[in-house]
C-alpha cells in the first residue's frame, strides 16, 4: 500500500489550459501510457477563479467536495460532502468556480481504452501550445498553417498536440451527464470483513466499474481494504487514521494494488471516515 500524508505535500501549478492560477496537491498517480492510468489530487482554485465552457472528456472523473460547493454547470453544484461521477463522453458545463474552492478529484482512463493524459503531459503540451496561440476561458485560439484562425477546447488542443495531431475521439456515454451522490441519503451497513466497520455503498458504474463507497471506522477500529481486483484509492474525509506506524489526517490518501490488503485504524478517541474508490478493471 502506498500512503501519502497531506502534511508532506506542497501546492503545485495546475496545467493552465483552464486557469493559470489553479494549484493542486499530488496524492497518487498511475503509469502514463497505460489504459488504467490515473491521478488522485486535491485541487484549489486561485485568485483568478476558474471558468470552463461546456465540454466532455475521453476519460473519467470522481469528485468529492470539501467545504465549498463545486460548480459544474448552470445552477448545478456539487455540495460539500457529496460525490460526483463524471463519465467519459458525457457533457457538462459551462461552469465558474470562485477562488479558494478545494475538492478531491481522481481522473482515470475509462473502458473506451483512451487512457488518461497525466498532468505532467498536460503541462508540457500547454506550455508548447502557448508559444503558438492563446488559452482564454478554457478555449485555445491559434492560427492554422494556411493562416486561418481557429478555436478549440483547451483540453482537446493539448491532447491532440501531445498525441501528434491525432484527432481526439469520444465514446458513446453510458451516462449522458454527471451522476451526483448524496451520502446522507444512503444507509450505513455492516462491513462483512471488519468488525464494527460500517459502509455506505454509493454506486457502481458500467460493466467493470468504477465504484465508490464511504467507510466509517469506530474509535480504535480497523479496516482491511475493499477486496478489489483493480486499483483502489482511499481518501480520509473525516477524522484521522493510523497505519504504517504513523498517523494520517483528513485529506491524506492511500493507493492499493489489485487484491492488496491493508490495516488502517481509527485513533482510539474518535471515529474516522474513508472515501473508497475502486477504479475500473481492464483485464
CATH number for position 201: 2.60.120.10
pLDDT at 16: 67
Residue 217 lies in a domain: yes
Residue 72 lies in a domain: no
Instruction: Write out residues in the chain with pLDDT < 70, as ranges.
Output: 16-18
pLDDT at 165: 87
Residue 106 lies in a domain: no
Q: How many domains does the chain have?
A: 1
Q: Is the separation of the CB atoms in 211 and 278 below 8 Å?
A: yes
Using a 10 angstrom Cβ sphere, with 0-12 exposed, 13-18 middle and 19 or more buried, the burial of residue 57 is buried
Residue 173 lies in a domain: no
CA angle 58, 43, 12 (to 5 degrees): 105
Bond before 35 cis per omega within 30 degrees? no
Residue 226 lies in a domain: yes
Residue 272 lies in a domain: yes
pLDDT at 18: 67
pLDDT at 257: 97
Domain that holds residue 214: 185-278
pTM (2 d.p.): 0.92
Other beta carbons less than 10 A from residue 5's beta carbon: 15
Residue 237 lies in a domain: yes
Residue 218 lies in a domain: yes
Grid cell listed for 131? 508559444
Amino acid at each position: 500500500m502506498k500512503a501519502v500524508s497531506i502534511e508532506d505535500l506542497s501546492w503545485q501549478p495546475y496545467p493552465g489550459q483552464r486557469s493559470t492560477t489553479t494549484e493542486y496537491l499530488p496524492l497518487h498517480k498511475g503509469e502514463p501510457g497505460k489504459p488504467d492510468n490515473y491521478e488522485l489530487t486535491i485541487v484549489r482554485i486561485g485568485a483568478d477563479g476558474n471558468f470552463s465552457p461546456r465540454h466532455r472528456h475521453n476519460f473519467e472523473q470522481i469528485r468529492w467536495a470539501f467545504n465549498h460547493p463545486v460548480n459544474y454547470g448552470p445552477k448545478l453544484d456539487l455540495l460539500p460532502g457529496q460525490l460526483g461521477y463524471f463519465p467519459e463522453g458525457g457533457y457538462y458545463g459551462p461552469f465558474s468556480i470562485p477562488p479558494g474552492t478545494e475538492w478531491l478529484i481522481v481522473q482515470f482512463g475509462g473502458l473506451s481504452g483512451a487512457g488518461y493524459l497525466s498532468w505532467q503531459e498536460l503541462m508540457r503540451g500547454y506550455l508548447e501550445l502557448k508559444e503558438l496561440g492563446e488559452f482564454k476561458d478554457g478555449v485555445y485560439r491559434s492560427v492554422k498553417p494556411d493562416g486561418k484562425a481557429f478555436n478549440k477546447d483547451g483540453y482537446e488542443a493539448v491532447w491532440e498536440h501531445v498525441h501528434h495531431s491525432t484527432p481526439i475521439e469520444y465514446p458513446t456515454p453510458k451516462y449522458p451527464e454527471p451522476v451526483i451522490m448524496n451520502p446522507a441519503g444512503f444507509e450505513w451497513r455492516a462491513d462483512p470483513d471488519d468488525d464494527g466497520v460500517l459502509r455506505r455503498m454509493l454506486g457502481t458504474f458500467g460493466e467493470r466499474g468504477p465504484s465508490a463507497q464511504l467507510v466509517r471506522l469506530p474509535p480504535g477500529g480497523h479496516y482491511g481494504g475493499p477486496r478489489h481486483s483493480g486499483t483502489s484509492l482511499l481518501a480520509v474525509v473525516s477524522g484521522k487514521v493510523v497505519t504504517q506506524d504513523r498517523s494520517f489526517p483528513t485529506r491524506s490518501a492511500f493507493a492499493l494494488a489489485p487484491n492488496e490488503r491493508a490495516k488502517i485504524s481509527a485513533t482510539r478517541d474518535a471515529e474516522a471516515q474513508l472515501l473508497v474508490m475502486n477504479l475500473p478493471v481492464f483485464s
